[in-house]
Amino acid sequence: MTPNARAAALMTLGMAAFACEDALLKLLSRGISIGQLLLMIGFAGMVVFGAWVARSAEGLRWRDLLHRGVLLRNLSEAICGVCFLTALSVGDLSIASAILQALPLLMTLGAALVLGEPVGWRRWSSIIVGLIGVMMIVRPGTDAFQPGSVLALVAVVALAVRDLVTRQLPARIGSGLLTASAFGSMSVAGAVLVLIGGQNMVMPNPVEAGMMAVSLGFGLLGYMTMVIATRIGEIGAIAPFRYSRLVFAIILGVLVFAERPDGWTLAGAAIIAFAGGYAMWREARLRRRPRRAPASSLTRPG
């Protein structure tokens, strides 16, 4: 297999793992509060990644956690965790997952509006088309509207802020520390929901404890395979395979939760996947262009 083929297979495996993680969290939310789930899973993830970072060459640099960019990133991660997990608990898995796929489009939009990066008419068009796809899924003011869709949208915006901030962080701050601190921020958010929101703490039964452990395992598997895939493959080649998460989520939604996505939802999801995949492919192509033709000053971004 070529490096791109291996990367595509790993990315697909990672997206399947993330979809399974979401399905398990949705099942767990039926008997355990959102706050407790975030508290327990976030704490476990922080411990696992923290131990890994401590034993790696990167090491734990506690002072980096006080960097204002890291603080903003962790706040965005906490908001995303609360909103997306709540969206899963009150709405359809397939709808929440479809809205989540708008992240690359919001990243492109944020890079243009906040970071001042040049974005040409092609990517602007993909953003507009993708947002139309989102509205086809959400459909505010109709009987098909789900309140959880708004929470999923807030979660995507929080993820976009997180990723934009990450691009501006100093190179000395490693990804392992960022991941461990992100899990920690979700744990803190869960504790706040439990204490201030009046959410009850319950003792998970053996089945629920096992589901939590498996959910965390799926999350770690998804993270590791995604990182490896982005390191060994070209972004433009593996970008479309990120949207396999949506396919797995729809299948799990139908089989596990008896969801029945209508034609508008499926069409909107397809439009988001197409627009987002094109935006990622276009950005990867533009990043390669200076290396291919460094002397050209007439090429416009697209």
Q: How many CA atoms lie within 13 A of 1 on its CB side?
A: 10
Q: Averaged over 77-100, what is the pLDDT?
A: 92
Please check whether residue 151 is in contact with residue 87, taking contact to mean a CB–CB distance below 8 angstroms: yes
- How does 229-250 read in b/e, with b if 16+ C-beta sit within 10 Å? bbeebebbbbbbbbbbbbbbbb
Quick one: pLDDT band at residue 83, thresholds 50, 70, 90? very high
Query: Exposed, middle or buried, 131 (CB in 10 Å: 0-12/13-18/19+)?
Result: middle
Q: Averaged over 288-300, what is the pLDDT?
A: 46
Q: Of all residues in the chain, what percent carry a pLDDT higher than 90? A: 39
Quick one: pLDDT band at residue 200, thresholds 50, 70, 90? confident
Please measure the distance between the N-terminal and C-terminal CA atoms of the chain and give it in whole angstroms: 32
Q: Is the confidence at residue 121, as pLDDT, over 90?
A: no
Q: Of all residues in the chain, what percent carry a pLDDT higher than 70? A: 93
Out of 13-27, 113-127, 224-238, 277-291, which region has the weakest mean confidence (pLDDT)? 277-291
DSSP state of 127: H
Residue linked to tokens 């291996």: 6
Listed residue (191, 192, 186) closest to 219, CA to CA: 186
Model pLDDT, residue 296: 38
Model pLDDT, residue 298: 38
- Cα gap 300→94, rounded to integer Å: 37
Model pLDDT, residue 250: 93
Residue linked to tokens 């969290």: 25
- Compare 34 and 301 and report the one with higher pLDDT: 34
Model pLDDT, residue 292: 46
- Cα gap 302→285, rounded to integer Å: 10
Which secondary structure element, helix H or strand E, spans residue 210, and what is its range? Answer: helix 206-232
Q: How confident is the prediction for the chain on average, in pLDDT?
A: 85
Q: Averaged over 230-249, what is the pLDDT?
A: 81
Q: Averaged over 111-131, what is the pLDDT?
A: 84
Q: Is the confidence at residue 87, as pLDDT, over 90?
A: yes
Model pLDDT, residue 302: 54
Model pLDDT, residue 77: 92
- Cα gap 26→94, rounded to integer Å: 11
Out of 32-41, 98-107, 288-297, which region has the weakest mean confidence (pLDDT)? 288-297
pLDDT in tens, 143-169: 778 888 899 999 999 988 988 888 888
Model pLDDT, residue 288: 66
Please check whether residue 3 is in contact with residue 232, taking contact to mean a CB–CB distance below 8 angstroms: yes
User: Dihedrals φ, ψ of 91, to 5°?
Assistant: -130, -170
Domain ranges of the chain: 3-288
Model pLDDT, residue 38: 93
Model pLDDT, residue 15: 93
Q: Averaged over 96-114, what is the pLDDT?
A: 86
Quick one: pLDDT band at residue 299, thresholds 50, 70, 90? very low
Q: Is the confidence at residue 262, as pLDDT, over 70?
A: yes
Query: Exposed, middle or buried, 49 (CB in 10 Å: 0-12/13-18/19+)?
Result: buried
Name the pTM for this structure. Answer: 0.84
Q: Averaged over 200-221, what is the pLDDT?
A: 90
